[in-house]
Amino acid sequence: MLDLLLSSHGICLFMFVSAFGLMIFGFPVAFTLAGTGIAFAALGSALGVFPWPMLATTNGRIVALLLNETLLAVPLFVFMGVVLERSKIAENLLLTMGQLFGGLRGGLGISVVLVGALLAASTGIVGATVVTMGLISLPAMLKANYDKPLAAGVICASGTLAQLIPPSTVLILLGMTLQNADTQANLRLGRFGGATISITDLFSAALLPGLVMVLLYIGWLLFKAATDPASCPALVMSAEERRTLGTRVLKAMLPPLLLIVVVLGSILGGLATATESAALGALGAVLLAVAMGQFSFAMLRQVAHSTLVISTMIFAILLGATVFTLVFRGLGGEDVVIDLITLLPGGQVTAVIFVLSLIFLLGFIIDTFEIIFIVVPIFGPVLIMLGTDPIWLGVAMAIVLQTSYLTPPFGFAIFYLQGVGRGIEIETIYRGVIPFTLIQLTAVAVIWAFPELATWLPKVLF
C-alpha cells in the first residue's frame, strides 16, 4: 500500500486531491495551483519519480502563453463588455424590451431572457449582465408582482448566457485549452497534423445551442404563465408608453445589434480572427459610448481598471494551472487518467458522462476558469482519443460550465444578484435558480441527441 502511495500514480492523485482541498478552504487559486505543482515536483524528484529539470520548461511555456495572439482577445472582449455596461446600452435595452413584451403574462421575464441573449452577444461578461439586469429588471418584476424566486432565477440564468453565446471569454479559453488537448491526443495517436479545432469553430458551434438555451428559458416562462399565472402577471403600461414603444425599441436595439454584426459577422464571415474582431468590438463599444454621450476620460479610467483586474485574475490562474498541469503530466497523470477512463464500462459514452458530471460537481465549489484550466488539459486528450468530436465536446463543456454560475454555494451569478437585489434573500435566489440549472442540463441532453446543433454550422462556414 505504501509503495502505491509513493509511486508516481499515487503522488499525482494525491496532488489532484490536495489542490482542490486547498481551494475549498479558500486559498487563492493561482497560488494554490502553482504552489501545489512545485511542492509535488520537489516530492516526486526526491522519490525519483519526477525529472526535476522538466520544471524548467515552465519558463518557455509561460513565455509562449504571453506571446499567444489568441489570448489578446480576452482583455479586449472584457474591455468591450465593461464599456457597454457603463454606456447605458444595457439599461435602455431592458427598459424598452420589458415594455415590448410586458403586456403578456410572463412577458417581462421573456424580455429579460432576450436582453440577456443580446447582451451576451455583445459583452460576453456574466457579472456585468447580471448586475445590470438586477438593478433594473428586478425592481420592475417585483413591482409587477412577479414571484420572487422566478424573478431571481430568470435574471441569474439570463446573465449566464454570456458564457455560452459568443463572443465569450469562456469560449476563448476553452477553445485554446481544447486546441492543446487535441494536439496532445493526436501526438499520442501518432498523428502530427496539429489541432483540428479553432476558436472560430467553437464560436460558430455555440450559436445554435445558445439559441436552444434561450428557447428553453422562454418555454419554461410560458409554462409558468399557463400553469401559475399569478407568478408572472402582465405589465401595465400607459397610452403614451404604448404609442412611442416602437421608436424606443428600435433606438435601444440598434447599437448592440450593430456591435454584434461587427464582432460576430467579422469572425463568422472569415474576415477577422477572434483577436481582430475583439479589437473591432472594443473600438466599436467606445464609439457607441461617444455617440450616446456617455464617454469621458474618468469612465475610460474606470473601464481600464476593471479590465486590468479581471484579465489579471484570468491570466494568473492560467499561469498557475500551467505549472500544475506540467507537473501532473510529469508524474504520469495522463496514464492515470487513461487507466481510469478505460476502466469505466460503456466506453466513450460513459467517459464523456463521467467528465461532464465531474465538471458539474466541481462547479459547486470552484470557478469556471479554474475548472477549464485543470480539468480540460487532464481529461480532454483522453476523450478526444476515444473519438469524441472536440467541437461538440467544447460546446457540451461550455453548457455544463454555465451551471457553475447558478449552483450553490459558490454560484457567482447568485452573489452578483444578491449584491444588488435589495429585499431578496439568498435562499430565495437558490430556489429560483434550481429550475434553470435543470434546463441547462437539459440543453446538454438536447445537443447529445442532436449533435448537429453544435457541429453543423462550423462545417458549413469553414
C-alpha dist (Å) from residue 16 to 19, 55, 144, 191, 368: 5, 17, 49, 29, 17
Which residues contact residue 157 at a Cβ distance below 8 angstroms, ignoring those fewer than 6 apart? 113, 116, 217, 406, 413, 433, 436, 439, 440
Residue type, position 73, single letter: A
Q: What is the pLDDT of residue 2?
A: 45
74-85 burial code (b ≥16 CB/10 A, e <16)? bbbbbbbbbbbb
Within-domain flag for 286: yes
Three-class SS state of 452? helix
Amino acid at 343: L
Position 310 in a domain = yes
**Rounded Cα–Cα distance for residues 135 and 81 (Å):** 17
d(C-alpha 352, C-alpha 175), whole Å: 17
Q: Grid coordinates in use for 462? A: 469553414
Asked, for residue 315, whether it belongs to a domain, the answer is: yes
Is the torsion defined by CA of 319, 416, 203, 449 positive or negative? positive
The whole-number mean pLDDT for each consecutive block of 10 residues of the chain, a chain of 462 residues, reads 55 81 76 86 81 74 76 83 76 73 81 85 72 78 87 91 86 89 82 73 93 95 92 75 73 81 82 85 88 86 87 82 82 75 82 92 81 87 90 95 83 78 80 94 96 92 74
Residues 10, 336: contact at Cβ < 8 Å? no
User: Is omega for the bond preceding 409 within 30 degrees of 0, making it cis?
Assistant: yes
pLDDT at 7: 62
Asked whether residue 101 is domain-assigned, the answer is: yes
**Residue length, the chain?**
462
* Residue 404 domain flag: yes
Q: Is residue 132 within 8 Å of 90, Cβ to Cβ? A: yes
Peptide bond before residue 51 is cis, with ω within 30 degrees of 0? no
Residues 184, 188, 192, 198: is their CA dihedral positive or negative?
Answer: negative
Q: In the block, which residue shows the cell 498557475?
A: 320
Name the residue range of residue 418's domain: 70-461
How many structural domains compose the chain? 1
Q: What is the pTM of this model?
A: 0.83
pLDDT at 238: 67
**What pLDDT, on the 0 to 100 scale, is given for residue 4?**
45
Q: Does residue 119 belong to any structural domain of this protein?
A: yes
Phi, psi of 439 (to 5 degrees): -65, -40
Other CB atoms within a 10 A radius of the CB of residue 439 amount to 18
